[in-house]
Amino acid sequence: MAILGLGTWLRIYNFTTLIVGTLLLGCAIAFLNVLAPTTVAVYYPASLGKMTSIYTLAMTLSSAATAGFSALLSKILGWRSLFCWLVLLPLVALLIIAALGRIHPEPATAVVSQPATKPKQVASVWHQPLAWALTFFMGLQSLLFYTILTWLPQILSDQGRSQASAGLFLGLLQLASLPMSVIMPNLVGRRTKQAPLIWLIFALFIGGFICLLVSESIWSQALSCILLGLGTNAAFTMSMTLFSLKTKTPAQTTAVSGMAQSVGYLLAATGPFLSGVLYAQLHSWTLVIILLMIIVLLQTLCGLLIDRKEQVFD
């Protein structure tokens, strides 16, 4: 949190500090993303689904609020003043973390010291097939999300919507994603087999992309945004929940989460870039959308592979 605050503050001054601050922000966010499922596993091992839904809902709400109000607040306060105020958020979080340090984990944390699990931790996470399935599921869903987030407004603009309308549709996508922050972790946490939920995610993505392909009407575009919003957040929250469900100790959760998110986000970074390159060559979004549908299929196959084994280190 201290690095997050420092990175935000540094971005105020000049281009050099902007770059340094942005790098610090990226590092801080990466650490926090890895530690979030581990924290849930340590403090709430008996309530993984419930607590995962709470923090993913908070992430989704804050993301939607930032997207919706940043431009307005920047116009009112000025972007430098806005960044100064944003520095307060990590400081508040630090105070909350200090208070949480006095909270004792749930009794179920006895699972951390189970003798049977300690020898298995010797195995490297990089040698576990299930860890790789989780990594590619995480990476492919992130690739889909960031590609949609980057290019959906442009796709809608090319289909005849104004920039303002395209921005509203993107807001609709983020709003539609909110229910899955609550629903999906609880559903995943109550099931031993996730195949029906994985196929549901597949249907949401494919339905959303088909709506973009078959019609340029406002209703088809709105339905596409709703389906894609539900699909992207369902896949993300399932990933975050599975990090805890497929491991037995916080150390295992950290190892799997770190591997999946580091490799996964590197994979995800290629999506927006390659989609832009392809569009620049073809001047059409049709092939890009079809390729994204193929990626949805690959994500689904990874999800089904995850379902074949109970634990990463078994």
Residue-level pLDDT at 117: 47
What does R_g of the chain's alpha carbons equal in angstroms? 20
Nearest C-alpha neighbor of 38 from the set 200, 249, 294: 249
Residue-level pLDDT at 113: 43
| Whole-model pTM over 0.75 | yes
Residue-level pLDDT at 95: 84
Read off the DSSP letter of residue 166.
H
DSSP letters spanning 106-161: PGGGGGGG-GGGTGGGGS-GGG-HHHHHHHHHHHHHHHHHHHHHHHHHHHHHHTT-
Residues 166/171/172/178 CA torsion (nearest 10 deg): 160
* The two structure tokens encoding residue 211: 């709506």
Residue-level pLDDT at 109: 43
* The two structure tokens encoding residue 200: 């549901």
**Domain ranges (residues) in the chain:** 2-111+129-306
Residue-level pLDDT at 119: 45
Helix (H, G, I), strand (E, B) or coil at 228: helix
Nearest C-alpha neighbor of 51 from the set 289, 266, 241: 241
**106 and 44 in contact (C-beta within 8 Å)?**
yes
- pLDDT, averaged per 10 consecutive residues of the chain (314 residues), comes to 84 85 82 79 76 80 71 76 82 80 56 45 81 95 93 92 83 88 87 92 98 93 96 93 88 89 88 94 93 98 92 86
283 φψ region: left (φ > 0), alpha (ψ -120 to 50), beta (else) = left
The CATH code that applies to domain 2-111+129-306 is 1.20.1250.20
Residue-level pLDDT at 116: 47
Q: What are phi and psi of 206, to 5 degrees?
A: -65, -40
Residue-level pLDDT at 107: 54
**241 and 302 in contact (C-beta within 8 Å)?**
no
